[in-house]
Amino acid sequence: EPEVTQTPSHQVTQMGQEVILRCVPISNHLYFYWYRQILGQKVEFLVSFYNNEISEKSEIFDDQFSVERPDGSNFTLKIRSTKLEDSAMYFCASSEAYGGGEKLFFGSGTQLSVL
C-alpha cells in the first residue's frame, strides 16, 4: 500500500537554527499538507500546497515557515529560526484531490525538539 514517508523521524536543534523537514507524498497525489501536534494538544493545520503554491495557511504559519516542492517527489517544511515553542510532532499528509471530504494520508511524523 502506498504511503507518505517523512524524514527524519526525530530532529533535535538549537533555538535559532534552521531546520528542514522532509516528506515524500504518495506519488499520484496532488495536494500536500503540513500539520503539527504539540504534546497533549490538538493536531493543528499549518499549510496546504498545490501546483507549486500555497493553497491555504493557518495563523501559525508565519514568516518563519516556508514550504517547497524542490523536485517531483519531495515536499519540505523549513523553519528559519526555530523557537522553543516550535517543539512538536510535525505531520506531512497528501490527498488525491481537494475540496472538502478528501481523504488525507499521513506520514509517521517528525518529532522536532528545540533546545
By CB under 8 A, name the binding residues for another protein. 4, 6, 33, 35, 40-45, 48, 56, 91, 93, 98-109
Those residues with Cβ within 8 angstroms of residue 103's Cβ, 6 or more apart along the chain or in another chain: 95, 96
DSSP 104: P
The nearer residue to another protein, 65 or 106, going by C-beta atoms, is 106
Nearest approach, Cβ of residue 45 and another protein (Å): 5
Nearest approach, Cβ of residue 100 and another protein (Å): 3
Nearest approach, Cβ of residue 68 and another protein (Å): 20
Rg, the chain, Cα only: 13
The nearer residue to another protein, 14 or 62, going by C-beta atoms, is 62
The CB density around residue 54, as the number of other CB atoms within 10 Å, is 12
The nearer residue to another protein, 8 or 16, going by C-beta atoms, is 8
Contact 32, 69 (CB under 8 A): yes
Length of the chain: 115
